[in-house]
Structure 1
């Protein structure tokens, strides 16, 4: 996601600072699964954040951050702000401070008709939202801001859920972000059909 509003120029000081920031995030994030930092001063200040999916291994996080870092420059070129969810990693940077805020950028929600098993299973959105609310509450109360759980579909199949927030958010803002995502899921066309699968691609939080 590239705003296309402002750009680095050749040999720009901001571009040099961004490279330093990306190096820091690449080094720091795999240790804990998430990191955020600001570098530079005044008009040359850049803010950045990286987040790996909560159940990703150290090696998996290293690879995901590296891939996200490479692809964000391909997609967004010299933009002074960019956000990418690539594989299992969220990477975001901007010349404007976005820390501790629930991002207002529209969330992308996708629905497909796939589920593990030979036959589709009808899924109640009421039950799905109940599961996600419970996970959101758990996530907001943990240092990792991450929680997983499942919903029983029948005797042999379950719907698995995952909730995660970026760690710059407060507990209240994590819960607020997840509430926004739940409302998006409610509006997914065909979401109540058998065998549905919902993915909310986050800016500040993930379902």
Structure 2
């Protein structure tokens, strides 16, 4: 975490985030966009907004030659079409605001992810950029917690790589009569099972480096998303366990 990571010196309450505030974004500023490519990016984003909510995912391209641009948009597998539509619309809007005249950009939300690039990334494992949200509070019984977390993430990772599950795995594990652990993993649906497994494995490995013994963590990569909490956060929500609530997080970004 030392030389490779830097703190974005701010703390935030996740429960207070507004809809169009992303979890993070990356703009490759070493790029220049001409008029034709800019037009193609606009067309591509409109296509992603239109098509992604139909089944929660789309990967496509637009244009020819040096002005061809590739794009992907995907919603978290447990959210409904309405939330997916709203999230993709926000993502397309904000990526244009935050990454103007950039030909390689990506943006993460809690409910969705969107990216585009002039290089064909479809089907390729990408773990170069990553963001970790780390709960500032420690668990009270690390030994039991880590054992349960390891078993749960192994289970949902196995689910995610099954083609029928479209890259999604989620589940829960009882830590005590009053405390439940919830976890979710998801790969972008363009990845083959082996690449999906590698991405999730890398993200879970990051838990020990950046989130050891913490009450919650989420890892955001361009190819996968992994999260665990001590409160219900995926749908359908567990109505039997609403006592725990989101806490304060530190955000770590690399590179």
Scaled by the length of structure 1, the TM-score of the pair is: 0.90
Q: Is the 8 A contact 2:72 2:115 kept in 1?
A: yes
Give 1 or 2: higher strand fraction.
2
Counterparts in 2 of 1:70 and 1:161: CA distance versus 1, 3 Å: same
Could you tell me which runs of 5 or more consecutive residues in structure 2 were left unpaired when the two chains were aligned: 1-25, 227-255
Q: 1:200 aligns with which of 219, 222, 241?
A: 219
Deviation for aligned residue 1:156: 2.1
RMSD: 1.7
How big is the shift at 1:129? 2.5
Aligned length: 198
SS of structure 1 residue aligned to 2:46: helix
1:173 aligns with 2:198: no
> TM (normalized to structure 2)?
0.73
Question: Partners in 1 of 2:202 and 2:150 — Cα distance?
Answer: 12
For structure 1, the residue ranges without an aligned partner over 5 or more in a row are none
Deviations 1:93-123 (A, max 9, x none): 00001111110313222221469xxxx6434
| Map of 1:7 onto structure 2 | 32
| Deviation for aligned residue 1:128 | 1.2
After superposition, residues 1-207 of structure 1 pair within 5 angstroms as 1-9=26-34, 12-113=35-136, 121-123=140-142, 124-143=145-164, 144-189=166-211, 191-193=212-214, 196-207=215-226
Greater relative contact order, per chain length (Cα 8 Å cut-off, separation 6+):
2
After TM superposition, the runs of 4+ consecutive aligned structure 1 residues lying more than 4 A away are none
Deviation at 1:133, TM superposition (A): 1.9
